[in-house]
Amino acid sequence: MSEDATFRDLVSRHQRRLYLFLRALLPAAAEAEAALRETNLQLWQRGRDVRADKFADFAEGIARKVAADRSKAPSHFSEELFRQLADSAGPSLELADKRPAVISGLFEQLPLPDRDLLRRRYELGMTAEQIALSENRPVAAVNRDLAGLHASLVAAIRERLPDSGPEPPGGALDLGRLTGQLLNGTISDDGRLVLETLLLADAAAQAHYHRHVALIAELTMRFCGLPPLTEPPAPPTPRVSRREQVVTWAFVAACTIVFLFLIFLFTGWLR
């Protein structure tokens, strides 16, 4: 296997972990995916000499810097909460490779209506409003069902795959509901303020936030796959110096003169 192929495999093996980390810091899916692409480009440029056993920490450090540079807008977390969420992501990230199999097993055990609801939301990308319209139900009922299903799955995952984080806090249902709204872009300004208040300086709330982020990110990946791996940038085309250009044009001109001379000679024009 070539050196490029070996390094590509190393980067590929860390995509799920990086995506989960970035989704927790930049909740909007499109923004997290853009940050993942930028992270991968920097890994291609700077990560080749990093030992494999140190690569996860190195890649996470780059992802954190990329996310921090993108989180300056007022709609993002405060600088202090961003730092706390980045620092508290470890227990969730440690389970990144084991969680998909657990979620797959739990999904197959769900009643058909619950599976259909998750498929509509994450495979078809339907909003709660679209689902409600298709089922002739109130939007609030669909949102309530989704939030309840998320909470049940988070609890079931934690039971089958315990993490090292604190126990869920009081008000875990509200925390999960607000996290879901944050990730799908429907949270209100008041809801965002409440969520940030719940999360700030609360280790249990942050751990539960990461559990919900991991679930929703995994459901997205289950139905839509991981974002495509960013390929290494093409090597720059070498610039041709002016001297090389002059030599090339002189050579072309000389060849043209010789060619025309031979034509004139053999066609009798020079006789």
The predicted-structure confidence for 174-215, as pLDDT tens digits, reads as follows: 999 999 999 999 999 999 999 999 999 999 999 999 999 999
Tell me how many degrees the CA angle 67-72-78 measures, rounded to the nearest 5: 90
Q: What is the pLDDT of residue 71?
A: 86
Give the Cα separation of 31 and 209 in Å (integer): 18
Q: What is the pLDDT of residue 228?
A: 86
Q: Indicate the average pLDDT of the chain.
A: 89
Listed by start position, the domains of the chain span 3-224, 241-271
Q: What is the pLDDT of residue 202?
A: 97
Q: What is the pLDDT of residue 262?
A: 55
**Low-confidence spans in the chain with pLDDT less than 50:** 1
Q: Which pLDDT tens digit goes with each residue over 220-231?
A: 999 999 888 877
HEC sequence for 151-162: HHHHHHHHHHCC
The reported pTM is 0.84
**Residue 206 CB neighbours (<10 A):** 26
Closest CA to 153 of 192, 100, 194, 191: 100
